[in-house]
Amino acid sequence: MLMRTDPFRELDRLAQQLTGVSGTWSKPSAMPMDAYREGEEYVIALDLPGVAKDAIDIDVERNMLTVKAERRPVATGEDVQVELSERPLGVFSRQLVLADTLDTERIRADYDAGVLTLRIPIAERAKPRKIAIGGEPDHRQLGT
Task: Tell me the pLDDT tens digit for each residue of 48-80.
Answer: 988 999 999 999 998 999 999 998 877 777 888
Does 27 score more than 90 pLDDT?
no
Q: Nearest CA to 123 among 105, 109, 141, 103?
A: 103
List beta partners, residue 61: 64
In order, the DSSP letters of 46-75 are EE-TT--GGGEEEEEETTEEEEEEEEPPSS
Q: Which of 120, 96, 93 is nearest to 5 (CA)?
A: 96
Mean pLDDT within 24-46: 83
Q: What is the pLDDT of residue 141?
A: 59
pLDDT tens for 83-140 read 877 777 888 889 999 998 999 999 999 999 999 999 999 987 766 778 889 877 666 6
Q: Is 126 helix (H, G, I), strand (E, B) or coil?
A: helix
CA distance 92 to 71: 8
pLDDT at position 81 is 84
